[in-house]
Amino acid sequence: MNEILIATPIIGAVILASTQMIKQVVRDNKWLPIVNVLVGIGIGVVYALTIVNGEVAVYAWAGAISGLGAGGFYDLQANIKGLNNQRKSTNLIEQGKGEQDAQGGE
């Protein structure tokens, strides 16, 4: 447990820096919390294999926790719901069962 507490702020700082780079490429910010968790797990695994030569699973969890913290854990559920709703509406439009309002609600 102490390993996670030590590694989390280090990995979190790296995730925040990588998120700033990702924001320049990814225009849809709804994906950022999910990307942060995945990047955090990846950084945690790399951290375990290269720096501390420790348990990979422990540092992968530390990376996931860091990714949740960096990406705003509170945004994760709302963004997943928003992406799911967007996917459903796109499917309805493609099937001809719905309309896309181009005027923003008029």
Helix (H, G, I), strand (E, B) or coil at 8: helix
Q: Is the pTM of this model over 0.85?
A: no
pLDDT tens for each residue of 32-60 = 778 888 888 998 899 889 888 878 888 89
pLDDT of residue 41: 92
DSSP state letters, 69-97: HHHTHHHHHHHHHHHHHHHHHHHHHHTTS
Whole-angstrom distance, CA of residue 103 vs CA of residue 91: 20
**Average pLDDT for the chain:** 77
Q: pLDDT-based confidence at 106, cuts 50/70/90?
A: very low
